[in-house]
């Protein structure tokens, strides 16, 4: 029922066609509000804070549908990062309640430029009143009302909130191949409000990044599934030598290979989400998230690239939707680490577990 509800809502909003429009106009606040009204943004949040309390597996279903529709709205960053962080460290703050209901759109800034995307020592500093420093690759910042920033206050981490258009905030959007934008943001004596501080912030950060990674994998599964569906429909109708090309054995073999890859990825991501849903060990959750993302990345890029080939020359034309799926797969695969990164992360985690 949840899957059908979200799919219907996104189809009524304009479906895949909105991905083209978003390249010029960005994501739609009206659609984001409709998703919030349907309970989508609070699906994984506890009922005690105003969410639905359905957990990570339900959020994975929503993420798949977002991927199938190529929805430009920053749904996964909102569910996993912004709302996920606030429900962990400041569940009683009104900022969380209005984020779940969609009254405000929040973007979560935690990464800084460095070899791993987050240096051991954060350069972004909060002195008790104002924020100074920089954050990179902030998803959903364009169009957001509020920024949630992880910074350093003396010797401990702190989570602060700022108005997105407030004083001392300088944002530089960087457009990606699918039309979405990540922002680099500089803070110069930017007034901020403290939401939480101490070890609870660093512990929560590990959890929300794992959640976001797993949900990005689920979104990639949705991208793969819809791209394959469009391709199978195409090979059934395109004719060559007087026959649909789908009747040729070589095409059938390739289609079966892609279908098996998609099913394996879907099963793997679903299993990882199910384990993360009941697991409380941070290292185990991170390991499962990396396993899911590595599988989903490899599969999504394989399916979308071969789908372009199976469409023939028209697959390379911007007028055909299949190219939109390739671009989204490339962007999502890179976000929060690609397949190679997460395979390495998984191997490190397995070796660390063996040493224990």
Q: What domain range includes position 260?
A: 206-355
One domain, residues 130 and 94? no
Q: Is 103 helix (H, G, I), strand (E, B) or coil?
A: coil
Pull the structure tokens for residue 232.
Answer: 């199978």
Of 100, 133, 151, which residue is a domain's last?
100
- β-strands 239-240, 243-244 pairing: antiparallel
Going by pLDDT thresholds of 50, 70 and 90, the confidence category of residue 238 is confident
One domain, residues 229 and 323? yes
Check: CB of residue 301 under 8 Å from CB of residue 149: no
pTM: 0.94
Neighbours of 8 (CB within 10 A): 12
Judged by average pLDDT, the poorest of 46-55, 113-122, 235-244 is 113-122
Q: What is the mean pLDDT of residues 40-64?
A: 94
Going by pLDDT thresholds of 50, 70 and 90, the confidence category of residue 117 is low
Judged by average pLDDT, the poorest of 132-136, 155-159, 248-252 is 248-252
Of 75, 100, 125, which residue is a domain's last?
100
First to last CA, the chain: 43
CATH code of the domain covering residue 165: 2.40.110.10
Going by pLDDT thresholds of 50, 70 and 90, the confidence category of residue 120 is low
Q: What is the pLDDT of residues 245-300, one digit of tens each?
A: 766 788 899 999 999 999 999 999 999 999 999 998 999 999 999 999 999 999 99
Neighbours of 65 (CB within 10 A): 26
Residue partners of 63: CB distance under 8 A and separation at least 6: 75, 76, 79, 215, 216, 218, 219, 222
Q: Is 28 helix (H, G, I), strand (E, B) or coil?
A: coil
- Greater model confidence, 249 or 228: 228
Give me the number of domains the chain comprises. Answer: 3
Q: Is 123 helix (H, G, I), strand (E, B) or coil?
A: coil
Can you tell me the distance from the alpha carbon of 140 to that of 110, in angstroms, rounded to the nearest whole number? 13
Q: What is the pLDDT of residue 115?
A: 67
Pull the structure tokens for residue 271.
Answer: 């299993």
Question: 347 pLDDT exceeds 90?
Answer: no
Neighbours of 133 (CB within 10 A): 18
Q: Is the dihedral of CA 266, 268, 274, 276 positive or negative?
A: negative
Q: What is the pLDDT of residue 116?
A: 64
Alpha-carbon Rg for the chain in angstroms:
21
Going by pLDDT thresholds of 50, 70 and 90, the confidence category of residue 314 is confident
One domain, residues 133 and 270? no
Write down the residue that tokens 């941070």 correspond to. 282
Residue partners of 196: CB distance under 8 A and separation at least 6: 89, 90, 158, 159, 204
Check: CB of residue 78 under 8 Å from CB of residue 129: no
Name 130's bridge partners: 191
Q: What is the pLDDT of residues 165-201, one digit of tens each?
A: 999 999 999 999 999 999 999 999 999 999 999 999 9
One domain, residues 186 and 221? no
Of 165, 197, 229, which residue is a domain's last?
197
Check: CB of residue 35 under 8 Å from CB of residue 79: no
One domain, residues 43 and 86? yes
Going by pLDDT thresholds of 50, 70 and 90, the confidence category of residue 237 is confident
One domain, residues 185 and 220? no
Can you tell me the distance from the alpha carbon of 44 to that of 76, in angstroms, rounded to the nearest whole number? 11
Pull the structure tokens for residue 270.
Answer: 């679903």
């Amino acid at each position: 029922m949840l899957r059908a509800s979200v799919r219907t809502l996104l189809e009524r909003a304009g479906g895949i066609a909105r991905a083209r429009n978003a390249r010029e106009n960005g994501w739609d606040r009206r659609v984001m509000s409709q998703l919030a009204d349907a309970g989508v943004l609070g699906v994984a949040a506890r009922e005690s804070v105003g969410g639905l309390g359905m957990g990570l597996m339900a959020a994975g279903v929503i993420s798949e549908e977002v991927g199938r529709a190529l929805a430009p709205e920053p749904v996964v960053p909102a569910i996993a990062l912004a709302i996920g962080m606030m429900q962990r460290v400041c569940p009683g703050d009104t900022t969380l309640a209005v984020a779940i209901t969609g009254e405000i759109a929040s973007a979560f800034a935690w990464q800084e430029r460095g070899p791993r995307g987050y240096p051991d020592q954060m350069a972004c500093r909060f002195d008790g009143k104002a924020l100074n420093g920089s954050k990179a690759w902030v998803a959903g910042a364009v169009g957001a009302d509020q920024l949630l920033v992880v910074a350093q206050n003396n010797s401990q981490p702190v989570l602060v909130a700022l108005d997105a258009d407030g004083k001392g905030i300088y944002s530089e959007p960087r457009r990606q191949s699918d039309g979405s934008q990540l922002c680099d943001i500089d803070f110069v004596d930017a007034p901020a409000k403290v939401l939480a501080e101490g070890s609870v912030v660093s512990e929560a950060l590990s959890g929300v990044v794992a959640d976001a990674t797993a949900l990005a994998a689920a979104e990639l599964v949705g991208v793969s599934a819809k791209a394959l569906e469009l391709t199978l429909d195409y090979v059934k109708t395109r004719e060559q030598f007087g026959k649909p090309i789908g009747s040729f054995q070589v095409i059938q073999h390739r289609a079966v290979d892609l279908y098996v890859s998609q099913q394996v990825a879907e099963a793997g991501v679903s299993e990882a989400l199910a384990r993360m849903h009941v697991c409380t060990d941070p290292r185990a959750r991170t390991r499962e998230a990396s396993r899911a993302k590595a599988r989903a990345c490899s599969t999504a890029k394989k399916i979308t690239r071969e789908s372009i080939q199976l469409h023939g020359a028209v697959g390379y034309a911007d007028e055909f939707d299949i190219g939109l799926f390739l671009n989204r797969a490339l962007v999502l695969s890179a976000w929060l680490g690609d397949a190679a990164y997460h395979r390495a992360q998984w191997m490190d985690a397995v070796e660390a577990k063996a040493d224990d």
